[in-house]
Structure 1
Amino acid sequence: MKNVTISMDDELARLTRIAAARAGQSVSKYLAEAAREKMKADDDVTETQRRNIQLEALERIWAGPKWDVTENGRMPTAEERNARR
């Protein structure tokens, strides 16, 4: 386990000590848990952003020009689709 020194203003330090005491934890454990939760939240946001980018790409594809494959108002048969031209 590593020891880390941090700096914060007096008011924040006081509030942190109070919050840690209410949680029944040391300030060190309280801050470590807060950092862990923050990193998990950041990872969740990154994953959500990645999914949104993929969804936007799919929506652009689906919104693109339609490809009319009908012939004389009907879908081609398998033989017509696979006929060598």
Structure 2
Amino acid sequence: MKNITVSIDEETYRLSRVKAAEAGTSVSALVRAYLVTLVRGQIPKTEFDRLHRLQGETLEAIRTRGGGLRAADNLPRDALHERNAFP
């Protein structure tokens, strides 16, 4: 494994340490994960690419759990048209 040195400003470093602590990892592990994702071509090039990938992941998660909404999740017709539901 190779070591690299990266220069960043103090505030970015401080915030990255906070994020790493929240994730239960280190700043080095965050950078390593980012670089692995980058070289595998998994980082979206545009906002459209990011949203398109997110949409695909969401649809896959829905399919994995067995489809979309179930009939039991639907509200009865009267409840849908109730006028005082939101005071």
Instruction: Return the TM-score normalized by structure 2.
Output: 0.43
Larger Rg: 1
Give the TM-score of the pair, scaled to structure 1. Answer: 0.44
Which structure features the higher share of helix residues? Answer: 1
